[in-house]
Amino acid sequence: MISDNPTALLEAPKLGRKLPETLKNQEIEIMLNGIDRSKPEGERNRAIIETMYACGLRVSELVNLKISNLYLNESFIKVVGKGNKERLIPIHDQANKLY
């Protein structure tokens, strides 16, 4: 009989992670076209959605975004993401036009 477990030092295989669901281009267009841009909050909402979509931000990253982290002349933003990790994200021309 074996007194030690021969598999004790083996690592279990890593389980694959499911990718988050994303919206299709058509769904984004419908959302953007549904915003009433005749009101200030409509312009704000469009800027929020454009920034999230164009920069690939999480909602939490957008909510915590500070004006001091916008570098519009250089066309990038500094985002603090999961685990307090900072990353620099280029701003797409379409989103930068809104500012």
- Burial code (b: 16+ CB inside 10 Å, e: under 16) for 68-89 equals eebeeeeebbebeeeeeeeeeb
Range 25-96 has CATH code 1.10.443.10: yes
63-97 confidence digits (pLDDT tens): 988 999 989 888 889 998 888 899 999 986 765 66
Res. 99: pLDDT tops 60: no
What's the pLDDT score for residue 95? 59
> What 3-state DSSP class applies to 77?
strand
58-70 confidence digits (pLDDT tens): 888 999 889 999 8
What pTM was estimated for this model as a whole?
0.65
Mean pLDDT computed over 24-39: 91
- Residue 99 in tokens: 């500012």
